Amino acid sequence: MVFIKKQTKKIVALLLIAVMLFSITACTQANAIALEIDGVEIGSGLYLHYVFNARQEWQTKIREESPEIKEDDIFKAELDGKKFDDWTTDRAVEMSVRYAAIEIEFDRLELELTEEALANIKSNVSYSWGENQRLFVHNGVREPSLELFYANYEKHNILFEKYFGKDGIEEVKDKELRKYFNENFVDIDFIMFSATEYDQEGNPITLEEEEQEKKLKDFNKKADKYVKRINTTKDTFTKVNDEYNAELKAEEEAAKKAAEEAAKAAEEESGIPAMDGEIDPETGEPIIEPTDPADPAEEEAEQEPPSNRMVIFTGDVEEDGEEEEEETGDAELMKAIADDKNLGKAFKVDLGTEIYVFYKYDVTKKKSNFTDKREEALLKYKTEDFSDKIKSWQEKQDVKRNDFEIGRLKASKLEDSVQALIAKES
């Protein structure tokens, strides 16, 4: 379920961790300069990051506009009245100019990368290089361009804090931020009923249509019963949730006991002892793996009833149920959660193979809600303002283009290079 994913510290989706970089030929000159922006040089290696990111954006936008488009036609389409190469080149140059704006402002304010930022850069470069080294080497790309790319992201974050964080240039006070938090975050808990079953490897099992329909019918009845009980009796959501979890645990224990009894019966019938785990080929005895001593804190945590309670952002949900960000999850579900009429009530959301019983608490009542989510709230509140601020810096910049190098690194040639590499290695 997309909704359950915890929202993180990300400011924008920059394709940082899994970024892949390709160039036109194995002899790409990583030290060639594609752009010079107020003294900040954008080398070919760094520029190619942005070409590839632009290519990814193109694909995403074209698929959104034309969901039925054939794969072969994606790069033949037009976007904003521009053809593939023109659009991606303009976008790559725009991202490069943004890079320079961040570098220049970071230096102007005499800021420095923190130890945490340096560690993040090292970790991200190591991961990307480890995942894509074969492609990097094939295309003549070296680690320094990766370091520049990730360092700029960290500088972006530090600049954001310098402007809007504690004692910042435009510090957002708690009173102002708390108001935004109260209006755009919700405190919810839920019970989920899923008609999807999984095997031991975690793969979904396809159920017979009749069996699935029966499960869903039973779940709907149970969900309706829970909603009515919570809203019309003194039973709290927590009490109902605990009972449901106890019911699930009892079912799991009964299934485990049945499996053990079946194994015992098979053993008695065959006369061959049942053995769990791997068998030592020399002795024929089961291999017993050493176990670590139990952690009392972990044992205590395991005994506590599981809870799905969380505080989430709903500010991107529009009136028609559409969302500005895919991260926020299913539109229908999020719209129901954001609806003020559901405050202090249990309500059901039916998503087909998944049915939910939600309970919406008053997010302002629990003091730790704001404290725990302050950083995320600040990011949500001021990210757009900060982007506008960066754009204003960009408008003042003197951009010198190396059109020969930019033309040599067109996205269409990049695409041809990717296909050639795939064909060569297949």
**What would the 3-class secondary structure string for 50-83 be?**
HHHHHHHHHHHHHHHHCCCCCHHHHHHCEECCEE
Give the residue among 240, 203, 210 at the shortest CA–CA distance from 225: 240
Residues 266-296 pLDDT 10s: 777 776 665 555 655 555 555 555 555 555 5
Give the residue among 333, 335, 356 at the shortest CA–CA distance from 3: 333
Question: Tokens in use for 268?
Answer: 């008695």
Residue 253's alpha-carbon distances to 152, 229, 256, in angstroms, are 52, 27, 5
Question: Tokens in use for 258?
Answer: 């049945």
Question: Tokens in use for 373?
Answer: 């989510």
Same domain, 76 and 150: yes
**For residues 266 and 372, which has the higher predicted lDDT (pLDDT)?**
372
Could you give the percent of the chain with pLDDT greater than 70?
Answer: 75
3-class SS of residue 106: helix
Average pLDDT over residues 400-416: 86
Q: Are 410 and 345 in contact (CB under 8 A)?
A: no
The Cα–Cα gap between 295 and 276 comes to: 25
Q: Is 290 part of any domain?
A: no
Same domain, 418 and 335: no
The Cα–Cα gap between 40 and 37 comes to: 5
Same domain, 213 and 329: yes
Q: Is 404 part of any domain?
A: yes
Same domain, 169 and 238: no
Question: CA 174: distance to chain centroid?
Answer: 27
Question: CA 141: distance to chain centroid?
Answer: 27
Average pLDDT over residues 11-36: 51
Domains identified in the chain, total number: 2
Average pLDDT over residues 112-127: 96
Looking at mean pLDDT, say which of 161-165, 206-210, 247-251, 323-327 comes out highest.
Answer: 161-165
Instruction: Return the bridge partners of 40, or none.
Output: 37
The Cα–Cα gap between 141 and 270 comes to: 63
**How does DSSP assign 290-311, residue by residue?**
--PPPPHHHHHHHHSPP---EE
The Cα–Cα gap between 171 and 307 comes to: 35
The residues, ordered by sequence, that sit 6+ positions from 94 with a Cβ below 8 Å of its Cβ are none
Same domain, 155 and 252: no
Question: Tokens in use for 374?
Answer: 């302050």
Q: Is 54 part of any domain?
A: yes
Q: Is 287 part of any domain?
A: no
Q: Is 286 part of any domain?
A: no
Question: Tokens in use for 194?
Answer: 């899923």
User: Is the model's pTM score more than 0.85?
Assistant: no
The Cα–Cα gap between 333 and 356 comes to: 9
Same domain, 388 and 327: no
Q: Is 147 part of any domain?
A: yes
Max Cα-Cα span within the chain:
85
The Cα–Cα gap between 215 and 198 comes to: 15
pLDDT at 262: 82
H-assigned helices in 110-142: 115-138
Same domain, 219 and 238: yes
The residues, ordered by sequence, that sit 6+ positions from 237 with a Cβ below 8 Å of its Cβ are 189, 230, 346, 359
177, pLDDT greater than 80: yes
108, pLDDT greater than 70: yes
Q: Is 6 part of any domain?
A: no
Which of 328, 354, 371 terminates a domain? The answer is 371
Q: Is 212 part of any domain?
A: yes
3-class SS of residue 274: coil
Same domain, 229 and 95: no
Q: Per-residue confidence at 117, pLDDT binned at 50, 70, 90? A: very high
Residue 123's alpha-carbon distances to 16, 17, 109, 119, 126, in angstroms, are 11, 10, 26, 6, 5
Q: Where are the beta strands (DSSP E) in 97-227?
A: 185-194, 197-198, 204-205
421, pLDDT greater than 70: no
Same domain, 318 and 417: no
Give the residue among 57, 46, 49 at the shortest CA–CA distance from 80: 57
Instruction: Give me the domain span that covers residue 310.
Output: 180-269+304-371
353, pLDDT greater than 60: yes
Same domain, 209 and 357: yes
Instruction: Return the bridge partners of 83, or none.
Output: 78
Same domain, 132 and 207: no
CB hemisphere CA count around 239 (13 angstroms): 9
Same domain, 21 and 76: yes
236, pLDDT greater than 50: yes
Q: Are 313 and 380 in contact (CB under 8 A)?
A: yes
Residue 360's alpha-carbon distances to 335, 344, 383, 409, in angstroms, are 13, 5, 27, 52
